[in-house]
Structure 1
Amino acid sequence: MPKHRELFLQAIKSDVYRDALFNRVIENFVVQGGEHDTDIAKREAAHPELGKPRLAAEFDPRAYHKVGAFGAGRDDNPEKASFLNQLYFIVGKPVSTEELDALEQKKGFAYTTEARNTYLQIGGQPRLDNDYTVFGEVYEGLSVLLEISKVRTDKSDYPLKEIHFTVEEIR
């Protein structure tokens, strides 16, 4: 997912994710932050002449929605193209062999042995595979995200208390 990686690194350099907010939190699913869907829709409606900038989807069987994966959010566009300034982290849930088998039938692809084993051992959200672009993985601090995923939210999944975050590049 080289284009998503470059977009993300550019966003870090531009401070897009400096003191950003997690604005959608769903236990056993995702912790999402950056620009919110509603804000994107309002901006695009106010300036239709600018179009709807998106980054084309990039799928790779090595990048899947296991616990700790992170990817780019999107709307319901048929190209499955990503928003430019929104990311999510998978906190996931346990996955069964039956669920994976059913998803393979429904989606028309087979999970790799690695993905299947990982989903069965640690869980995730395999239903998002090949629909949303995964371009990274949390390697430190996953326990913090898992705690964030349990905060109280309103009916629209907004946390009742603001949760700020900053993303920095580590070299």
Structure 2
Amino acid sequence: MPKIILLLLLPLLSVAQKPSKKDYLVTLKTDYGMMHLILHNQTPKHKENFIKLVEQKFYDGLLFHRIIEGFMVQGGDPNSRSAAAGQPLGSGDIGYKVPAEFMPELFHKKGAVAAARDNNPEKASSGCQFYIVQGRVWDDENLQKQMARSGRPFTDEQKQTYKTLGGSPHLDGNYTVFGQVIDGIAVIDSIAKQPRGPMDRPNQDIRMAMEGKWVKKKKITKQFGYQY
């Protein structure tokens, strides 16, 4: 992940005040199609912060400034909004960190939305930069190597997911996963395969825009098949 200088904590909104029968549905529009995301209640600080930024239209016009096929696509650097062609990106910040919220059940499967960070010892997250996992499919042998590398055992569900849907298991326990793409997951593949420069910035700018609204969970399940 790129180095990001972050210093302060932001007072967060209270998601808990919202009705439990509803969830916040994010629509992420890109030059290669649209995705829908949900944000996990198990990571309330990240969820509240992301909602705040979406409501403020912070992400509108920013770039996916770092793409690596077979790994992930990253955006959210405020410096990318008016960046010149070839300008190095990835160090922009919003002035605060979000404390790490590692949950074993939230892992880096394909479509996972996670927070970028610098090398701070607390593994606190960037207040604005995020990435969406593309990853790859793993076989048993290489998955065992990833478990040994991370020092963390994978559950049977994680193993099966990494062997079928795919993901980036070496990131587990190091970066906070706080959301999931529930529709339009093929857009990740379209973005990740674009030609890129030596610093992994796409040769052609790929911009984003986001909007969100509170939707009944039953409607989300019916429309997208996501199970709560």
TM-score, normalised relative to structure 2: 0.67
Q: Deviations over 1:50-99 (max 9, x none)?
A: xx621111111221001111111111111111000111000111212223
Q: 2:179 aligns with which of 114, 129, 136?
A: 136
List 4+ stretches of structure 1 deviating above 4 A. none
The equivalent of 1:113 in structure 2 is 156
Deviation at 1:104, TM superposition (A): 2.4
Could you tell me whether the CA contact under 8 Å between 2:150 and 2:172 is conserved in 1?
no
The equivalent of 1:94 in structure 2 is 137
Q: CA RMSD in A?
A: 1.5
Q: Deviations over 1:3-55 (max 9, x none)?
A: 11111111101111112211001111111001153234xx8xxxxxxxx6211
1-structure distance, mates of 2:151, 2:67: 30
Q: Which has the larger radius of gyration?
A: 2
5+ residue gaps, structure 2, are 1-42, 78-88, 216-228
The equivalent of 1:46 in structure 2 is none
Q: State which drifts further: 28-37 or 153-162.
A: 28-37
- Is 1:160 paired with 2:203? yes
The aligned runs of 1:22-171 (5 Å cut-off) are: 22-35=64-77, 36-40=89-93, 53-170=96-213, 171=215
1-structure distance, mates of 2:186, 2:206: 15
Q: State which drifts further: 150-159 or 100-109.
A: 100-109
Could you tell me whether the CA contact under 8 Å between 2:65 and 2:90 is conserved in 1?
no
1-structure distance, mates of 2:130, 2:61: 14
Q: Amino acid of the residue matched to residue 66 of structure 2?
A: R
TM-score, normalised relative to structure 1: 0.88
Q: State which drifts further: 150-159 or 102-111.
A: 102-111
Deviation at 1:144, TM superposition (A): 1.2
Could you tell me whether the CA contact under 8 Å between 2:116 and 2:175 is conserved in 1?
yes
Percentage of pairs with the same residue = 39
Deviation at 1:149, TM superposition (A): 0.4
Aligned residues between the structures: 161
2-structure distance, mates of 1:22, 1:109: 30
Q: State which drifts further: 89-98 or 103-112.
A: 103-112
Q: Secondary structure at the match of 2:211?
A: coil
